[in-house]
């Protein structure tokens, strides 16, 4: 199969397999996506990049994704549908890049197609790409950076892409030294090689560009010029990336008064002490291991590639790119969102090592005897692990293209809709899940007790693992007209009562509230400021209401 035919087949499969897969997976827009949507709408309306008007706090972690959605909102595109379409489109582009990266690593067209097809029919990958957040965009950018680095693209372009990655996820700045190190190692390789000789396998199977060959072939003087050019190349990449990072950081300091998004500070475990940090490290390790088990064929394919092609430096580079996310996973203790979204976005990068392992195994199949038998067993193991991976994806039994929300998010939307006619412009409404709740209450100031949209909570609150931080005294001092929690939330009535020495309990009336149609099987906990009780209590009429038991 030629590359041209393979690319045509890939284009057809990219158009068909993901769309077919999406028919059978229950797509859900995650609640946090609506935080970004509210930022995008406020920016498009001319009110600034803010969650609440007049409060400069950065609760959205992906600046580039927010700006993209703001542009869509400016031209009146429906923001939820646009986020879904963009996420899926970028994920499709990521599959194309995964194929090209596999070829650059030295995999055959057939093996590269097989590896990409496995990701294309993996439900979890599409659920992460289509959840309203930046997953699809990040997956595309990170595999594009990997491919452009391996094929020696323009250093300024690679640096610009690294800057875009930082705008998409701040922790991706860790990829910059990996890229620069890979470029510098080429300079070191040239220093120890014979003049004019290049090792194609060590350079990544498919070799380097003609420009690189011309720049490094010849006598020792030319070799020295090549090493100098490679060092300059790494420097240009770093400078281009850091120029974007520096400009964005200066803007953040000026606009928000912070180096990083507030949501990063809210979920940081460093202020919680060494014991909590150790707990997070163990939880993050568990998260990583569970991800590897759930994606066994990609992990086994990577191990196979390392075993059969250990000298392929581009392979090691691709794996280091994936590994840059591990420190964030360990420090954060994993993530509460489903489908391993922190690591699933790296599946297109991991498809390239799988392609290389498959390619080497296909080659062994062409040799009779022991090598063929071994290759047959390896392919059977990979096929079984692929069935295991796909079987663990959340499938729905019949094709039904629809987008829904998690039942808890539905509860908050339901209560926000009930409260909206009774709230006044001066009211503050607080809730644990602020995304869909704040999206419904567009004209209401929303207080976030978990700190994503509250700079005070993020820096002074009690740590709640992957969810954020809460300063209960500050919550009381904010005087929200209404506070909405859900049963089983990390912000509990007991913690509120203890953290305010009972003052919140005295100043607020509280009920368990349920509605079988909107919230089952969950119940909400609704606090209403006693000063606004007469006005807001009618929002609970006709609902199943049970007074919250008081302590003491």
Q: For residue range 116-161, what is the model confidence (pLDDT) as tens digits?
A: 999 999 999 999 999 999 999 999 999 999 999 999 999 999 999 9
Q: Are 500 and 480 in contact (CB under 8 A)?
A: no
The more confidently predicted of residues 512 and 375 is 512
Q: State yes or no: pLDDT of 214 exceeds 70.
A: no
Q: State yes or no: pLDDT of 405 exceeds 80.
A: yes
Number of H helices, E strands in the chain: 26, 10
Least confident interval from 94-98, 129-133, 186-190: 186-190
Q: Are 461 and 515 in contact (CB under 8 A)?
A: no
Q: State yes or no: pLDDT of 209 exceeds 50.
A: no
Per DSSP, the residues of 517-530 read TTTTT--EEEEEEG
Q: State yes or no: pLDDT of 196 exceeds 60.
A: no
Residue 200's pLDDT is 39
The more confidently predicted of residues 378 and 527 is 527
Residue 242, CA distances (Å) to 233, 239, 311, 364, 385 in order:
14, 5, 31, 45, 41
Q: State yes or no: pLDDT of 544 exceeds 60.
A: yes
Q: State yes or no: pLDDT of 80 exceeds 50.
A: yes
Residue 275's pLDDT is 86
Q: Find residue 430's DSSP bridge partners.
A: 447, 483
Q: State yes or no: pLDDT of 217 exceeds 70.
A: no
pLDDT band at residue 206 using 50, 70 and 90 as cut-offs: very low
Q: State yes or no: pLDDT of 260 exceeds 50.
A: yes
Residue 194's pLDDT is 37
Mean pLDDT of 245-258: 96
Least confident interval from 192-206, 321-335, 425-439, 475-489: 192-206
Residue 267's pLDDT is 86
The more confidently predicted of residues 132 and 196 is 132
Residue 1's pLDDT is 53
Q: State yes or no: pLDDT of 14 exceeds 80.
A: no
Mean pLDDT of 398-411: 82
Least confident interval from 164-178, 372-386, 400-414: 400-414
Residue 220's pLDDT is 55
Average pLDDT for the chain: 88
Residue 394's pLDDT is 86
Q: Are 436 and 60 in contact (CB under 8 A)?
A: no
Q: State yes or no: pLDDT of 328 exceeds 60.
A: yes
Mean pLDDT of 470-490: 94
Mean pLDDT of 161-188: 91
Q: Closest Cα partner for 395 from 22, 30, 95, 128?
A: 22
Q: How buried is residue 145: exposed, middle or buried, by Cβ count under 10 Å (0-12/13-18/19+)?
A: buried
Alpha carbon 160 to its chain's center: 20
Least confident interval from 202-206, 269-273, 338-342, 467-471: 202-206
Dihedral of the alpha carbons of 254, 256, 258, 262, in degrees to the nearest 10: -160
Alpha helix ranges (H) inside 106-121: 109-120
pLDDT band at residue 42 using 50, 70 and 90 as cut-offs: very high
pLDDT band at residue 2 using 50, 70 and 90 as cut-offs: low
**Rounded to an integer, what distance in angstroms lies between the CA atom of residue 265 and that of residue 478?**
20
With b meaning 16 or more CB within 10 Å and e meaning fewer, what string describes 474-507?
bbbebebbbbbbbbebbbebeebbebbeeebbee
Residue 211's pLDDT is 44
Mean pLDDT of 339-361: 95
The more confidently predicted of residues 184 and 136 is 136
Alpha helix ranges (H) inside 273-419: 274-294, 296-308, 313-323, 326-332, 341-344, 347-365, 370-391, 407-419
**Rounded to an integer, what distance in angstroms lies between the CA atom of residue 176 and that of residue 157?**
13
Residue 527's pLDDT is 97
Q: Tell me which residue has tokens 């092609």.
A: 309
For residue 193, the 8-state DSSP code is S
DSSP 3-state of 221 = helix
The more confidently predicted of residues 208 and 176 is 176
The more confidently predicted of residues 402 and 198 is 402
Q: What percent of the chain has pLDDT over 70?
A: 89
Q: State yes or no: pLDDT of 494 exceeds 90.
A: yes
Q: Which two tokens stand for residue 98?
A: 């995964």
pLDDT band at residue 244 using 50, 70 and 90 as cut-offs: very high
Q: State yes or no: pLDDT of 188 exceeds 60.
A: no
Q: For residue range 280-314, what is the model confidence (pLDDT) as tens digits?
A: 999 999 999 999 999 999 999 999 999 999 999 99
Q: Tell me which residue has tokens 């291991």.
A: 289
Q: Are 282 and 334 in contact (CB under 8 A)?
A: no
Q: State yes or no: pLDDT of 455 exceeds 60.
A: yes
pLDDT band at residue 389 using 50, 70 and 90 as cut-offs: very high
């Amino acid at each position: 199969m030629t590359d041209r035919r393979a690319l045509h087949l890939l284009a057809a499969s990219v158009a068909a397999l993901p769309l077919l897969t999406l028919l059978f997976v229950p797509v859900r827009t995650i609640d946090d996506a609506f935080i970004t949507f509210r930022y995008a709408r406020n920016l498009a309306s001319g009110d600034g990049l803010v969650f609440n008007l007049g409060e400069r706090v950065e609760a959205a972690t992906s600046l580039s994704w927010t700006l993209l959605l703001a542009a869509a909102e400016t031209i009146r595109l429906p923001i939820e549908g646009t986020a879904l379409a963009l996420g899926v489109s970028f994920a499709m582009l990521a599959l194309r890049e995964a194929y090209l990266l596999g070829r650059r690593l030295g995999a055959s067209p057939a093996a590269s197609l097989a590896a990409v097809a496995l990701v294309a029919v993996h439900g979890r990958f599409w659920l992460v790409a289509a959840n309203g957040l930046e997953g699809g965009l990040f997956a595309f950018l990170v595999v594009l950076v990997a491919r452009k680095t391996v094929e020696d693209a323009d250093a300024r372009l690679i640096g610009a892409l690294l800057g875009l990655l930082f705008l998409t996820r701040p922790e991706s700045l860790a990829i910059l030294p990996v890229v620069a190190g890979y470029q510098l190692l080429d300079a070191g390789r040239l220093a120890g090689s014979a003049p004019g000789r290049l090792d194609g396998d060590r350079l990544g199977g498919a070799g380097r560009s003609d420009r690189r060959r011309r720049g490094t072939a010849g006598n020792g003087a030319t070799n020295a010029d090549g090493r100098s050019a490679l060092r300059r190349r790494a420097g240009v990449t770093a400078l281009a990336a850091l120029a974007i990072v520096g400009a964005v950081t200066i803007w953040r300091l000026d606009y928000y008064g912070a180096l990083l998004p507030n949501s990063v500070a809210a979920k940081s475990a460093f202020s919680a002490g060494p014991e909590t940090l150790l707990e997070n490290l163990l939880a993050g390790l568990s998260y990583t291991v569970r991800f590897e088990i759930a994606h066994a064929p990609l992990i086994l394919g990577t191990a196979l590639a390392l075993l059969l092609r250990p000298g392929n430096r581009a392979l090691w580079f691709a794996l280091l790119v994936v590994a840059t996310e591990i420190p964030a996973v360990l420090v954060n203790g994993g993530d509460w969102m489903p489908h391993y979204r922190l690591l699933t976005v790296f599946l297109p990068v991991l498809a390239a090592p799988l392609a290389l392992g498959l390619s080497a195994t296909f080659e062994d199949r062409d040799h009779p005897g022991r090598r063929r038998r071994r290759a047959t067993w390896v392919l059977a193991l990979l096929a079984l692990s692929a069935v295991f991976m796909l079987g663990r994806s959340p499938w729905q039994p019949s094709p039904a293209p629809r987008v829904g929300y998690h039942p808890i998010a539905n509860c908050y939307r339901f209560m926000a809709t009930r409260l909206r006619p009774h709230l006044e412009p001066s009211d503050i409404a607080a809730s644990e899940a602020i995304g869909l709740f704040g999206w419904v209450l567009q004209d209401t100031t929303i207080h976030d007790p978990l700190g994503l949209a509250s700079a005070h909570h993020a820096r002074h609150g009690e740590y709640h693992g992957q969810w954020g931080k809460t300063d209960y005294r500050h919550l009381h001092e904010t005087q929200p007209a209404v506070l909405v929690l859900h049963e089983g939330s990390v912000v509990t009535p007991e913690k509120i009562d203890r953290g305010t020495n009972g003052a919140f309990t005295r100043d607020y009336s509280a009920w368990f509230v349920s509605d079988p149609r909107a919230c089952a099987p969950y119940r909400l906990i609704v606090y209403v400021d006693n000063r606004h009780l007469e006005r807001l209590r009618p929002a609970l009429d006709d609902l199943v209401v049970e007074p919250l038991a008081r302590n003491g």
